[in-house]
Structure 1
Amino acid sequence: MRIQRILAMTATLACLAALPACEGDTATPASGAAPSSGVAAPAGGKGSTAVTLAGAQQYVRQFTNCDDLSAEPGDPRLPLTEFVGVGEWTVTQRGVCSDSAKDGELVFYIPSDMKEFQERYKRSILESSDGSRGLFSRVFVGKGFVVTPTSTESALALARSELRILYCNPSFGAPKGYKMDKALVEGCGLSDFVNTEDGKGSPNFETPQDPGGQKPGQPAQGSLGLARAGSVAELRELVGSSVDCTRFSTDPDTVAIESIDYAPVVEGNALDWGVTGRALCGEPGGAQRAHHLNWLDTVGDMKKLQTRAKAAQQADLKDDGKLRRTASRLLVGENVAVESNDPAVRFGLYQQQFLYLNCVPGFSAPTGYRLERARVEGCVLTNYDPENPVVGGN
């Protein structure tokens, strides 16, 4: 597990490396009124008078400590990495103060054009090759100012104010019980939910739910259709366009092979997972390093397979809140499954009516992706891949 201080500074550096990812703009009230220039007026005041760093500090102090405010560009409390400064992204002032009780700092930005600021942030999220960029935003938006706390405790304190966190990652969805208001830029939202990789942010007791026909394009019950095959050989032929099965084996010893780069979902006796037939595609290694490993399964008990896979997925998440990149994801059909850690393979399988078993608490899929009921409670089947969103849709 990471040390809390390292987590806090990492979040800050990520935010400041692309400032909009850590900063936000104004919220639209739940009533649907048009967005204003901000969420919270400095020092709790009303109106849109000129914002100052001192005024922003005064407002923030109602909820958390903010001492020794400085606007010096060389202040050692600012991260050393590249970040947006005065004169960029319409930022006219930047400052930093300390929340020593929560072991962190708060960095302030005052942009002259909040909408442009949000637009630049959104662009940095969408242009990033990292599909998780912006999921753990610390960009709190106020009336005419933005503040980015480095400490999760500070963020939780600010979430109780009228400030809202700017989220522009399309895979983010606020859990039930939290706000998700409109931002000034289409495709972004403002929320009071503090999302963290280590689970120490806002409490989230929501688990993935079947859409029940409420999500556009989804069936009220049942499925839009899933892949099926009568045997391992038939499954190999079915997925041939997506999975390289030039090297193919059903030998139990070969199928049991895994490497530091490729970890299967099913481990031990496959029958205990409800799997009736199993094969390995790819180079299992030996003189050379293993590569392109994917496992094909015929399934006699899909509920048992999904139950065991859910437990394995949640065990993987316990360490740092993320799934290992070397761990395969389970894509299921009606009576078949494929285990793969290759995003390109998964993309091809989505087109062939396989869906990914996702059991991550609070997961949601953006409009346009499939989301169907799994055989086990707390999981869903989807073709949305949060780690590789570009290749996830139909």
Structure 2
Amino acid sequence: MRLQRILAATVTLGCLATLAACKEGGQPATPAASSSTAAADTGPLAEAQRYLRQFANCDDLSDKPDDPRMPAGDFPKAGQWSVKEVGVCSDKVRQGEIVIAVPGDMKQFQERYKSYVLDRIRGGDGAYGLESRVLVGKGFVAFPTSTKTALTLVRSDLRVLTCNPTAPVPEGYKREKPLVEHCSLSDFVNAEDGSGSPNLETPQDPGGKGEKAGQPKAGSLGLPRADSIAELRALVGNSLDCEKHFSTDPDAVAIESIDYAPVVEGSGLGWGVTGRALCGQPAAGQRARDLSWLDTVGDMKLLQAKAKAAQLADYKDDGKLRQTASRLLVGENIAVETNSPSSRHGLYQLQFLYLNCLPGFSAPAGYRLEKSQVEGCVLTNYEPDHPLG
């Protein structure tokens, strides 16, 4: 919180580097439309606006230096840091503004920003720039004041410029080379309050010493196994819609719908899956119902590694998993993919466990929490949104 107080008090270039300064001290409320003069419909600012609007709102574009949405202090104005033009627009949906700067020399701009960050650090503000909101694009730089806007914009080709030497860029994020040494360009949005991009390097692994949190005192209850799809179908018959609606036809197994998405995509062989079947009713004049997938597995480590990557990619997008995405429940040599919480509860009674790779996950006492075959994931029967009754 010290960084936020300093930046809010000084109202300097901190409006470029952290959301808090602009929201708490350096950014007046968005003016009414009548008080903002729209910038020209042509030119670099308008081109930047058109690009930004593909990913976020950027309304009421103004190039007036006295627009009350413009950050005060040492924000680079036209003529400074090689900047030729500066404008500002509003993302009212995400309750923030986007300042746009058009440098004549992008390398010079990055060098000046780096120098400013290092000067702040040498002046005693060692945390300055850790929460950079300097998003570098092709021919322009965007400075969103809202973390939500920044998260939306990094889905484009815009990249966060960070020049604090201690700033993290966790694994799983794009890393690109900037025009200056010892800085980074990435799609990782850091935020002190945890509202930024998830750090995918910090899942809670139960592999440490001592008693495992949530681990039954008697040890593992084991995992189910089956030697064929037929055995797996019989095993899960009471939990899934497999008795009357079942198919191993490749075309049927490849079906997914707007409500049901499997974990395994494409050829099952590339996921370590040796056999595959579909339970439930595919669409036939009506929406699909109760779709689940059964897998026999020849390479469980490969399946879990691929499922981990898919789960983290889904989570990285907005910090939560899609409701339509199936969860992977595994046994010794078998797996089930389903997005039905009630079906998963039945499968937990059969000792299947869910592969959970989300950062910060832990299970309370009484639930199972065991190591998976891939680093950074756990096997569990605890779902925070759907705890067992």
When normalised by structure 1's length, the TM-score is: 0.49
Instruction: Give the counterpart letter for 2:203 in structure 1.
Output: T
What is aligned with 1:263? 261
Question: Residues 350 and 64 (structure 1 numbering): CA distance in 2 closer, same or farther, change over 3 Å?
Answer: farther
What is aligned with 1:218? 215
What is aligned with 1:379? 377
The separation in 1 between residues aligned to 2:308 and 2:349, in whole angstroms, is 23
1:357 to 350, 355, 370: 355
The separation in 2 between residues aligned to 1:371 and 1:378, in whole angstroms, is 13
Alignment deviations for residues 132-174 of structure 1 (CA, whole Å, 9 cap, x no partner): xxxxxxxxxxxxxxxxxx99xxxx99xxxxxxxxxxxxxxxxx
Pairs within 5 Å for 1:292-331: 292-331=290-329
Instruction: Give the counterpart letter for 1:227 in structure 2.
Output: P
Pairs within 5 Å for 1:1-394: 65=8, 99-101=24-26, 194-196=193-195, 198-199=196-197, 205-212=201-208, 213-215=210-212, 218=215, 223-245=220-242, 246-386=244-384, 388-391=385-388
The separation in 1 between residues aligned to 2:357 and 2:28, in whole angstroms, is 33
Q: Determine if contact 1:303/1:375 at 8 Å carries over to the other structure.
A: yes
SS in 2 for 1:309: helix
SS in 1 for 2:310: helix
Give the C-alpha shift of residue 347 in structure 1.
1.1
Question: Residues 61 and 337 (structure 1 numbering): CA distance in 2 closer, same or farther, change over 3 Å?
Answer: closer
Q: Determine if contact 1:204/1:362 at 8 Å carries over to the other structure.
A: no
The separation in 2 between residues aligned to 1:214 and 1:102, in whole angstroms, is 50
Q: Determine if contact 1:273/1:305 at 8 Å carries over to the other structure.
A: yes
Instruction: Give the counterpart letter for 2:377 in structure 1.
Output: C
The separation in 1 between residues aligned to 2:311 and 2:376, in whole angstroms, is 12
Q: Determine if contact 1:64/1:99 at 8 Å carries over to the other structure.
A: no
* Long gaps (5+) in structure 2: 10-22, 30-94, 97-126, 129-191
Instruction: Give the counterpart letter for 2:193 in structure 1.
Output: V
Alignment deviations for residues 276-297 of structure 1 (CA, whole Å, 9 cap, x no partner): 1111000011211111000011
The separation in 1 between residues aligned to 2:28 and 2:337, in whole angstroms, is 42
When normalised by structure 2's length, the TM-score is: 0.50
* Long gaps (5+) in structure 1: 1-58, 67-97, 105-149, 158-192
Give the C-alpha shift of residue 195 in structure 1.
3.6
Instruction: Give the counterpart letter for 1:101 in structure 2.
Output: G
Question: Residues 64 and 221 (structure 1 numbering): CA distance in 2 closer, same or farther, change over 3 Å?
Answer: farther
Q: Determine if contact 1:309/1:330 at 8 Å carries over to the other structure.
A: yes
Give the C-alpha shift of residue 324 in structure 1.
0.8
Question: Residues 222 and 103 (structure 1 numbering): CA distance in 2 closer, same or farther, change over 3 Å?
Answer: farther
Identify the range of structure 1 (363-372 vs 250-259) with the bigger mean alpha-carbon deviation: 363-372
Q: Determine if contact 2:206/2:212 at 8 Å carries over to the other structure.
A: no
Alignment deviations for residues 161-208 of structure 1 (CA, whole Å, 9 cap, x no partner): xxxxxxxxxxxxxxxxxxxxxxxxxxxxxxxx8343x427xx684223
Alignment deviations for residues 340-385 of structure 1 (CA, whole Å, 9 cap, x no partner): 0111111111111011101112222222211100011111111111
How many pairs align?
A: 220
Quote the sequence identity (%). 62
SS in 2 for 1:314: helix
Q: Determine if contact 2:341/2:386 at 8 Å carries over to the other structure.
A: no
Give the C-alpha shift of residue 63 in structure 1.
6.3
The separation in 1 between residues aligned to 2:272 and 2:357, in whole angstroms, is 18
The separation in 2 between residues aligned to 1:319 and 1:367, in whole angstroms, is 31
Instruction: Give the counterpart letter for 1:241 in structure 2.
Output: N
Alignment deviations for residues 293-315 of structure 1 (CA, whole Å, 9 cap, x no partner): 00011111100110111111112
Instruction: Give the counterpart letter for 2:202 in structure 1.
Output: E
Alignment deviations for residues 101-132 of structure 1 (CA, whole Å, 9 cap, x no partner): 3789xxxxxxxxxxxxxxxxxxxxxxxxxxxx
Give the C-alpha shift of residue 220 in structure 1.
9.2
The separation in 1 between residues aligned to 2:8 and 2:269, in whole angstroms, is 57
CA root-mean-square deviation: 3.5
Instruction: Give the counterpart letter for 1:208 in structure 2.
Output: Q
Question: Residues 230 and 367 (structure 1 numbering): CA distance in 2 closer, same or farther, change over 3 Å?
Answer: same
Alignment deviations for residues 33-71 of structure 1 (CA, whole Å, 9 cap, x no partner): xxxxxxxxxxxxxxxxxxxxxxxxxx99956749xxxxx
Give the C-alpha shift of residue 244 in structure 1.
1.4
Identify the range of structure 1 (305-314 vs 208-217) with the bigger mean alpha-carbon deviation: 208-217
Q: Determine if contact 1:249/1:281 at 8 Å carries over to the other structure.
A: yes
The separation in 1 between residues aligned to 2:201 and 2:268, in whole angstroms, is 32
Structure with bigger gyration radius:
2
Question: Residues 317 and 311 (structure 1 numbering): CA distance in 2 closer, same or farther, change over 3 Å?
Answer: same
Give the C-alpha shift of residue 390 in structure 1.
2.9
SS in 1 for 2:387: helix
The separation in 1 between residues aligned to 2:343 and 2:313, in whole angstroms, is 24
